């Protein structure tokens, strides 16, 4: 840990490092590991997922047209509509589950970026990465994927044609709910990537050394954790599908879900640890279920070893596409029978 690095007697910097903000050697191993897992060219770590995502948009120029999904991580949607538009980006929110809607909205030459999230928070809808990449590239746009919920364990967006893949490393990559971090990985070096680099170096939203090391340590168990969470989420989804007290289970691993076929094409080894339940009794019943769980903890966030349950609409507020009866579940690595039994007793209570 050092904020500064020795300069040579001849006034040079043969170590390649001048100052910690952008040249912290603690970034090297976690960045190299994420690059390898994503089959990319290079990765940049940020102080949070939001820091990583907003850097991708700040790498664009005022006037550029951007397509983003209606169903996406709510805080990024709020930033896009509340900040990026007033900064001069022309942001259009569309239905990303339908490639023909992307085709209809894209403007050849002026659309510079298509941003997708799959599976998408918190309805877990699926966007076809390969089909969307083709549409974006034909129009001259980059495709960026928020792959936080899929993780590199289940999906490699760059192999499917995406140009950039972003993670809230706060979630599965770290896996222990004890830091915030974000990453962006690029398939190639280009002018936009150099601007994203400059946003980090000059904007200064960089990760600390301790967090970089904790992230690396968390990633040592990434595969075990994600596989366990995915297998348990599948079990929970199947158990509550058709349940008398549940109106709908939202999970791409269910054959009846709208995104199942696309998910099967681009995910392997499972459909992730995130699902949502719509409680048949409505909003108050949903809030009561969350109040009555014992093993599931009432908290926001996702991707940790502990299972979390959240009434989502009351977090996202007005303008959110989330139904009021929806509970978002982040499945951890506890015994799955205990997780199901706890939800059962909370539903019956
Ligand atoms: C949490 C999250 C983010 C934001 O990441 P932070 O680390 O909280 O800044 C972005 N996208 C998705 C899908 C997330 O779950």
Q: Which two tokens stand for residue 117?
A: 């999230």
Position 333 scores a pLDDT of 98
Exposure string of 202-228, with b = 16+ CB inside 10 Å and e = fewer, is eeebbbeeebbebbbebbeebeebbbb
**CA 310 from chain center: how many Å?**
17
Give the distance (Å) from ligand 1 centre to CA of residue 274. Answer: 13
pLDDT-derived band of residue 318, with 50, 70 and 90 as boundaries? Answer: confident
State mean pLDDT over 20-31: 96
Asked about 73 being catalytic, the answer comes back as: yes
- Ligand 1 centroid to Cα of residue 168, in Å, is 4
In this structure, what token pair is assigned to residue 149? 């919920």
Q: Is 189 a catalytic residue?
A: no
Backbone φ, ψ for residue 45 (5° rounding): -90, 145
What tokens were used for 346?
């909370």
Strand positions, DSSP E, 160-214: 164-168, 182-186
Which residue among 46, 53, 54, 73 is best mutated to probe the pocket of ligand 1, counting the most ligand atoms within 8 A of its Cβ?
A: 73
64 part of the active site: no
Q: How far is the CA of 109 from the centre of ligand 1 (A)?
A: 30
From ligand 1's centre to the CA of 177, what distance in Å? 12
Contacts of 194 (CB under 8 A, 6+ apart): none
The secondary element (H helix, E strand) that includes residue 54 is helix 49-58
Residue 177 CB less than 6 A away from ligand 1: no
From first CA to last CA, the distance across the chain in angstroms is 51
Q: Is the CB of 31 under 6 A from ligand 1?
A: no
Q: Is the pLDDT of residue 60 over 80?
A: yes
Report whether 182 contacts 148 (CB < 8 A): no
Strands 164-168 and 142-146: parallel
Calculate the average pLDDT of the chain: 97
Domain locations along the chain: 20-219, 222-348
> Across residues 246-255, what is the average pLDDT?
98
Atom of ligand 1 nearest to the CA of 53: 10
Does any ligand 1 atom lie closer than 6 A to the CB of residue 266? Answer: no
Give residue 19's pLDDT: 95
- Annotated active-site residue 17? The verdict is no
User: 20-219 belongs to which CATH class?
Assistant: alpha beta
Please calculate the CA angle 170-176-177 and round it to the nearest 5 degrees.
55
Phi, psi of 166 (to 5 degrees): -115, 145
Q: Cβ(97) to ligand 1 under 6 A?
A: no
* Cβ atoms within 10 Å of 95's Cβ, excluding its own: 15
Residue 133 CA to residue 131 CA, distance in Å, equals: 5
Residue 111 CA, ligand 1 centroid: distance in Å = 24
Q: What is the pLDDT of residues 81-92, one digit of tens each?
A: 999 999 999 999
Residue with tokens 């007697």: 9
Task: Tell me 300's DSSP state.
Answer: S
The pLDDT value given to residue 65: 98
Residue 51 pLDDT level (bands cut at 50, 70, 90): very high
Q: What mean pLDDT do residues 28-34 have?
A: 98
> Tokens 């941003």, residue?
115
Least confident of 29-33, 134-138, 201-205: 201-205
How far away, in angstroms, is 50 Cα from ligand 1 center? Answer: 6
DSSP string covering 90-119: EEEEE-TT-HHHHHHH--TTTEEEEEEESS
What is the tens place of the pLDDT at every residue in 192-231? 999 999 999 999 999 999 999 999 999 999 999 999 999 9
Ligand 1 pocket check for 330: Cβ under 6 Å: no
Instruction: Quickly state the pLDDT bin for 317 (edges 50, 70, 90).
Output: confident
- Tell whether pTM > 0.95: yes
Q: What whole-number distance in Å separates Cα of residue 45 and Cα of residue 31?
A: 7
319 has pLDDT over 80: no
Catalytic residue among 73, 187, 225, 251: 73
SS3 at position 222: helix
Here the tokens at position 159 are: 């192999």
Atom of ligand 1 nearest to the CA of 303: 15
SS3 69: strand
53 CA to centre of ligand 1 in angstroms: 9
From the candidates 21, 107, 235, 265, give the one annotated as an active-site residue: 21
Span 222-348 CATH architecture: Alpha-Beta Complex (3.90)
8 A C-beta contact, residue 315 and residue 210: no
Tell whether ligand 1 has an atom less than 6 A from the beta carbon of residue 117. yes
Query: Has residue 259 got a pLDDT over 90?
Result: yes
Taking CA atoms, 204 is separated from 64, 118, 175, in Å, by 24, 28, 25
Query: H/E element holding 145?
Result: strand 142-146
What pLDDT is stored for residue 306 in this prediction?
Answer: 98
Q: Where are the alpha helices (DSSP H) in 204-301?
A: 209-219, 222-240, 260-266, 283-292
Among 46, 48, 49, residue to substitute to test ligand 1 (most atoms within 8 Å of Cβ): 49
- Of 171, 225, 278, 328, the catalytic one is 171
Residue 254 has pLDDT above 80, yes or no: yes
């Amino acid at each position: 840990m050092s904020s500064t690095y020795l300069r040579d007697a001849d006034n040079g910097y043969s170590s390649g490092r001048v100052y910690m903000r952008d040249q912290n050697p603690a970034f090297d191993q976690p960045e190299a590991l994420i690059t390898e897992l994503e089959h990319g060219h290079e990765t940049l770590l940020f102080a949070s997922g939001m820091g990583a995502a907003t850097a991708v948009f700040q790498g664009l120029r005022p006037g550029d047209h951007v397509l983003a999904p209606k169903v996406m991580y709510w805080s990024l949607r709020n930033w896009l509509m509340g900040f990026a538009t007033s900064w001069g980006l022309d942001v259009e929110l569309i239905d990303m589950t339908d490639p023909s809607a992307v085709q209809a909205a894209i403007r050849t030459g002026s659309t510079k970026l298509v941003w997708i999230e799959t599976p998408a928070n918190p309805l877990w809808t699926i966007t076809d990465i390969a089909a969307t990449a083709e549409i974006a590239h034909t129009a001259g746009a980059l495709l960026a994927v928020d792959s936080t919920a899929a993780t590199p364990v289940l999906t490699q967006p760059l192999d499917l044609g995406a140009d950039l893949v972003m993670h809230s490393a706060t979630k599965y990559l770290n896996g222990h709910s004890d830091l915030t971090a974000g990453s962006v990985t690029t398939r190639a070096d280009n002018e936009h990537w150099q601007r994203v680099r400059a946003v980090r170096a000059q904007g200064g939203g960089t990760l600390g050394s301790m967090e970089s090391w904790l992230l690396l340590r968390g990633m040592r168990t990434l595969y075990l954790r994600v596989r366990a969470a995915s297998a348990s989420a599948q079990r929970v989804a199947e158990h509550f599908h058709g349940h008398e007290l549940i109106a709908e289970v939202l999970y791409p691993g269910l054959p009846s879900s709208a995104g199942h076929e696309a998910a099967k094409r681009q995910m392997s080894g499972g459909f992730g640890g995130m699902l949502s339940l719509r409680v048949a009794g409505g909003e108050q019943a949903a809030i009561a279920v969350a109040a009555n769980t014992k093993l599931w903890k009432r908290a926001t966030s996702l991707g940790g070893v502990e299972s979390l349950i959240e009434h989502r609409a009351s977090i996202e507020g007005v303008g959110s596409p989330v139904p009021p009866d929806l509970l978002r579940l982040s499945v951890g690595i506890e015994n799955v029978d205990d997780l199901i039994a706890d939800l059962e007793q909370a539903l019956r209570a």
